[in-house]
Structures are given as structure tokens and as C-alpha cells.
Amino acid sequence: MSTVLTAASRLKGSVGKAAWNIVRRKRLASYLKSDRRPWREGYYEYREQCLSEAIVNESLLNVLENGQSLPQGYAHRLDARLIEIPWVLARFRKLNSERFLDAGSAMNYDFVLTSPALENKRVTIITLAPEGSAFWQLGVSYVFGDLRDLDFRDNRFDAVACISTIEHIGMDNTMYADDVALARRSNPNEFVQAVEELRRVLKPTGSLYITFPYGKYENHGWFQQFDSELVDTLVDAFAPSRSSESIFQYHSDGWQLSDRKSAAQCEFFDVHESKYGNPKSTIEYPPDFPAGERALACLELIK
């Protein structure tokens, strides 16, 4: 999945804005006429369009904030970005906060960074290595480093978002960065160090919004899927004064609110291991056409 998005991002960065808009429209039109299989040509553009609409949909944001059932068919054949980014913004929009850290760069889209929820906020993004898109002109600060050893002072941020990033800590991240020493696999349990660091840089009563694939424990080499036991380990490492949890589950007709028990046996579909990511593979998409995770944990942990 990440390699597909990286290719799309590089294409976007290699052409001018006007030329990209033409390419984008063609790719999107092609996708809309297709079977809408996840990660095929045009998926990136379709996902981006849906996400840009979702984060300004007040009705949807209220549903996510209040833990209500999602609209029928929401994010059909789309990945968890359509849940986690709106979920974070739904909570952050009403906080009287100034300094915001995106730990992992999942929110590095111009339309997300200019959304009402982040208006007048001082945004810092930390990720392993430079990406194809950067929005310095919006006042965003970019830092490159390791979440296990943050170069920020204690109590720096009012809020931190860590969106589908913690599952990669201690895993093989060479697809995200050229620095092998930094990106190579070390120890899957090192996500605990990252959680402790994220807590350290939060101000007292500050909030960590953290999301990750949930279900059966799975080790895919480049990430691990958290089961209920690992979720508890993560929460214990943060030691929140207060916390809340939302579990979402993917079904053949889209995403819906769920719970730990109902989603406990969910399995991740890794497109890299299918015939669409590996020419030697014969693995086809399952009938429900998941884009990846079939369940997502979204936690708000307050220091």
C-alpha cells in the first residue's frame, strides 16, 4: 500500500500543478469506471477526494466525536484514513490548543492542514525522512527523526496525533526511508518507547490521539497488527489520567463502529503479498475487498 501511495506522490511532485490536475482527473475518471479495487490506478485520487469531503462534513464529524454509528456504506473499499483523520479532527476542533504535533506525517495534505480544525494552530510534523510534499508556506514545521527519541523538550505540545504509525515502530521501515540504520527492523516492542516519548512531549492534560490496525495479532515485517493485549500494553505505557476508545470495523459494505470483542479476529489484507503487489503471487482480493486493515483502534489518551 505504501509503495502505491509513494508512486502516486512522486508522480504528483514531478509535474506542474496544471499538468497534475489533468493527470488527476484522468486517473480518477478511470478509477470511477472500474471495479474500484483498492490500490489500483486512481485509488489515491479517489481516496483524497473522499477524505477532503469527509473532514468538512459537520454531520460526520459529530458522529465520530460522539461515538455514533457511521452512515451506511461509508468508505466502501477505502482504507482507514477515511476514519482516523476525520476522527482526530473531530476531537481536536473543539480544543483550546495551540501547538499540535503530527507524529508520523499522516496529516501531510494541504486540505487537511488548512481544515477548520487546524486553523490558527502551530503544526509540527515529524517523520523518518523528507516526503514528496511539504507545505512550508502554510507555516508547518517539518522535523525528521525517530519517535523513540524525540528532539523536543518536555511538555511542548498541547496535542499529538499518531495516525497508523505506532505499528511500524521497531519494524522494517526501509520502504519509508533510505537510511537503513534508522529504518531497519529492531524490536517490535519498541513501540512502548515511542508512546513514552509522545507522553513526555505533551503538556499536562494534553491529549494523544493514536490509531492503529486492530484484530488478531499479526507480524507483517513492515508493521504489526495490535491485538487486545497489545492495546492494553500501549495504554499502560502512556498511563493516562483519562482515556476513551473507539473501535471501527470494515465490512463488505464499508466501515462501521464496533468494539474490541467483535473485531478481535479481524485479519489484515496485505496487497504487497497479493498478485497485485507481487508478480509471483496468485493471491486475489477477498470478496469484501479490504484496502488493508479490517479493524482500527482509535484511542484518546489524556496526560
The answer to the question of residue 169 being in a domain is yes
The answer to the question of residue 18 being in a domain is no
CB 104 within 8 A of CB 165: yes
Number of domains comprising the chain: 1
The answer to the question of residue 200 being in a domain is yes
The domain containing residue 197 runs over which residues? 56-302
The answer to the question of residue 31 being in a domain is no
The answer to the question of residue 292 being in a domain is yes
Beta strands in the chain (DSSP E): 99-103, 122-127, 141-144, 157-163, 202-213, 218-219, 224-225, 242-251, 254-258, 295-302
At 13 the pLDDT is 56
The answer to the question of residue 30 being in a domain is no
| pTM for this model (two decimals) | 0.91
The answer to the question of residue 4 being in a domain is no
CATH number at residue 107: 3.40.50.150
Low-confidence residues of the chain, pLDDT below 50?
Answer: 2, 5
Question: What is 85-104 written as a DSSP string?
Answer: HHHHHHHHTTS---EEEEET
DSSP 155: T
